[in-house]
Structure 1
Amino acid sequence: MNQPDSAGSIAMVLPASEAFSPGRAGAIALVVRRLAAATGASVIGAACQEPSFAGIPYNAVSFRAPLAYNAGVLRRLRRLRPANIDIHQQPRLARLAARLLPASRVMLFLHNEPTTMRGLTSPQARARTLRRLHAVVCVSDHLRAHYATGLADTAGLVTLHNPLTLAGLPASPAIRQHEILFAGRIVEGKGIADFIAASAAALPRLPGWSARIIGGDRFGPDSPETPFVREMQARANAAGIAWGGYRPHEEVVRAMASAAIVAVPSRWPEPFGLTALEAMATGAALVAARAGGLPEVVGEAGLLVPPGDASALAAAFLHLAGDDAARDRLAAAGRARARLFDTPVIAARLQRLREAETPV
């Protein structure tokens, strides 16, 4: 049996669709970057034209087609022989890695709905995956409950929330802009139409306030201008809402740090809600949909409204815009809540999962 190169060596594997570079990273790549930097891990992912994140060893795979990508990942893993392998979003690859590298502890990290994911759609497939891996790690209790559907034994099925490195966040100005901000992908499930309708209803009653939208159909400067994006931009323009388009993640976080209110009005059940966590950590007053993992992330540190309810969203905007003390209370509660998700806290929990004989 091959032995791992080092008892403490760690390799983290990204999906082929995720770019590990500052200008193109999506939510999963940002999470992996934080955990890799905190734990000294190397990262395996698809090759990208832009430079990868500095300070983290990156092993690029030239192919994106599933079979070729998986083969490239496995070649790199067999060369590295890490003691711990964290595979994100790829159940079949995780099972195969566990079979080919039996001396390594392989964990599968799930960031999206597991019961519709290829390789996990049936209870039998989910049970088989649990048996073969050191652990299956869900980023929220919401996802963990869905994975557990139909399973009699859930040993090794755990929740590990996504991290946010609080020390790396920009400072907030002493006086925040009277701005209501949406930052996210411009797709129907993110509730952008509800944000536009709510802002259009609220802004005429809020002199001195403005609203802004940042985002594109995808992550990256070449995000396509889809028919849906064009329609939303036209509605935003008609309502007097500023349209920022795609912006790099660092710029998005700076915008959150200066806006008085940030909205995360998702219609679909968010698996976690990283944007909501970023908003709380930067001191914005948060309004979020009561959907998926968002209530789990937000707790009592934000206003929750029903998903798809533009009227309730507008009422929340009016309430917070008109009450400085309420915004201050939510800002303080949000910062305190965000400390629970600080990268050192989550990285320590991850290390305990790796070391446990039966992760819980």
Structure 2
Amino acid sequence: MRVLTVLPRREGYAPDRAGAIALLVSRLATPDDIVIGTEVTGTPLPGGQFFAITEPGGLHRWRRDGTRYRIACQREIRRHKPDLIEVHNRPALAYALSRCGIPVHLILHNDPQDMHGAKRPRQRQELMQRVRVFTVSLWLRRRFLEDLDDGPVTVMPNCLDLSTLPEPPAERAKLVLFAGRMVSDKGADAFVRAWSAISAQAPEWRAIMIGADRFRFNSPRTTFVDRVETDARAAGITLCGYQMHHQVLEAMAAASIVVVPSRWPEPFGLTALEAMASGAAVIASPRGGLPEVVGDAALLALPDDGDALERALLRMIGDPALRAEYMARGRRQAQKFDLVAARQLLQKMRDRSVKSRKSR
């Protein structure tokens, strides 16, 4: 079976700029899978065979609605002649490519009601009639089906290859870690505020922040980043900036506590899963798909609910037995998202879609 995976236009498929979608595609791709997306510098991620696509110029050069990217994708479809097309996070593109006469999967990683081509119930209804829809969490499935009757939307959670995670040290450092984009939605400023308030009560502990505005080394400076970093330095937090994914996992393996204080409803919450799998105790926001991911394996605290985040941090820092319990729970919870089961589910759905087309 020849599968062609279409990345979002701005998703970098390289180790130094990979986001959650690129990492998931790389993990799940078989050696024969074709992955297409915008050109990257250097060696692409290892999953599948990556082909950089070139958008057309001419009459299309000034289009800003995704037309040029769609035309480039159609060229690659004609070139590779796949049995199945998988489009990540772009409903309008998936709908357009469904006219190619090849089965299309649409894998949604974010709220479809914020996406071009899926904002209205009628658009989502039409999508289900043309493509097979997947979501990475039950919360996203509910968002897709809101104001619709129940439909054939499959939950296919993100996953990890647990066997490849860094080996944790014999004794973890007294370290609290924030790892994520330096934006308000991720609660970076809430983490700084909480640590500033409680650090005097935990003098033996350190706090570290990993992240930038974007998933790349040359991430732009913003007024939010400047303000948060200024406050973080004043609070004694170590700032590491953007780090590649393997470096983030190494930091999680060393940390005792990882905080995921998201304000926006996380569609899934890959950072929380990685932290649990790495053996850290997790404090997470109870929004979006995060409660599904962490189950009973994390303390839940809203980032702006009074001093809830501060109290959760002090509780986890001050009680070694509680911390050890949540570390153990996290490891067990992470087993539910192992790569092997995810690959089996994906292959089953791929086979079903291709066989369905052949029978028609």
Q: Same fold (TM over 0.5)?
A: yes
Q: CA deviation at 1:342?
A: 1.1
Q: What SS does the aligned partner of 1:240 have?
A: coil
1:216 to 212, 217, 226: 212
Q: Distance in 1 between matches of 2:126 and 2:325?
A: 46
Q: Which runs of 5+ in 1 are unaligned?
A: 1-7
Counterpart amino acid of residue 105 in structure 1? P
Q: Distance in 2 between matches of 1:347 and 1:310?
A: 42
Q: How does 1:100-111 map to 2 (within 5 A)?
A: 100=100, 102=101, 104-111=102-109
Counterpart amino acid of residue 111 in structure 1? H
Q: What SS does the aligned partner of 2:148 have?
A: coil
Q: Which runs of 5+ in 2 are unaligned?
A: 57-63
Q: Distance in 2 between matches of 1:31 and 1:119?
A: 23
Q: What SS does the aligned partner of 2:122 have?
A: helix
Contact 1:277–1:298 (Cα < 8 Å) also in 2: yes
Q: How does 1:42-81 map to 2 (within 5 A)?
A: 42-54=34-46, 56-63=48-55, 66-81=66-81
Counterpart amino acid of residue 56 in structure 1? G
Q: Deviations over 1:303-344 (max 9, x none)?
A: 111242361111111111111111111111111111111111
Q: Which segment drifts farther, 300-309 or 171-180?
A: 300-309
1:130 to 82, 104, 128: 128
Distance 1:240 1:20, change over 3 A: same
Counterpart amino acid of residue 74 in structure 1? Q
Q: What SS does the aligned partner of 1:180 have?
A: strand
Contact 2:25–2:47 (Cα < 8 Å) also in 1: no
Q: Distance in 1 between matches of 2:240 and 2:323?
A: 24
Contact 2:3–2:85 (Cα < 8 Å) also in 1: yes
Q: What SS does the aligned partner of 2:256 have?
A: strand
Q: Which segment drifts farther, 314-323 or 176-185?
A: 314-323
Q: Distance in 2 between matches of 1:152 and 1:54?
A: 40
Q: How does 1:129-168 map to 2 (within 5 A)?
A: 129-133=127-131, 135-154=132-151, 156-168=152-164
Report % sequence identity: 43
Counterpart amino acid of residue 138 in structure 1? T
Contact 1:105–1:354 (Cα < 8 Å) also in 2: no
Matched, 1:265 2:261: yes
Q: Distance in 2 between matches of 1:178 and 1:164?
A: 25
Matched, 1:32 2:25: yes
Q: What SS does the aligned partner of 1:177 have?
A: coil
Q: Distance in 2 between matches of 1:206 and 1:152?
A: 51
Q: Distance in 2 between matches of 1:15 and 1:198?
A: 35
Q: Deviations over 1:239-292 (max 9, x none)?
A: 111111111111111001100000000011001100000000000000000011
Matched, 1:314 2:310: yes
Counterpart amino acid of residue 171 in structure 2? I
Counterpart amino acid of residue 164 in structure 1? L
Q: Distance in 1 between matches of 2:306 and 2:185?
A: 14
Matched, 1:234 2:226: no
Contact 1:108–1:137 (Cα < 8 Å) also in 2: yes
Count matched residues: 347
Q: Distance in 2 between matches of 1:79 and 1:308?
A: 51
1:184 to 180, 193, 202: 180
Q: Distance in 2 between matches of 1:348 and 1:186?
A: 35
Counterpart amino acid of residue 121 in structure 2? P
Q: Distance in 1 between matches of 2:287 and 2:231?
A: 25
Partner of 2:59: none
Q: CA deviation at 1:105?
A: 2.1
Q: CA deviation at 1:40?
A: 4.2
Counterpart amino acid of residue 235 in structure 1? D
Q: Which segment drifts farther, 26-35 or 56-65?
A: 56-65
Contact 1:166–1:342 (Cα < 8 Å) also in 2: yes
Q: Distance in 1 between matches of 2:159 and 2:306?
A: 30
Q: Deviations over 1:133-174 (max 9, x none)?
A: 1x10011111110110111251x2111101111111101001
Q: CA deviation at 1:225?
A: 1.4
Distance 1:72 1:177, change over 3 A: same
Q: What SS does the aligned partner of 1:107 have?
A: strand
Contact 2:29–2:47 (Cα < 8 Å) also in 1: no
Q: Which segment drifts farther, 197-206 or 268-277?
A: 197-206
Matched, 1:243 2:232: no
Distance 1:293 1:238, change over 3 A: same
Q: What SS does the aligned partner of 1:193 have?
A: helix
Q: What SS does the aligned partner of 1:356 have?
A: helix
Partner of 2:344: 348
Q: Distance in 2 between matches of 1:58 and 1:9?
A: 14
Q: Distance in 2 between matches of 1:46 and 1:73?
A: 10
Q: Distance in 2 between matches of 1:310 and 1:331?
A: 26
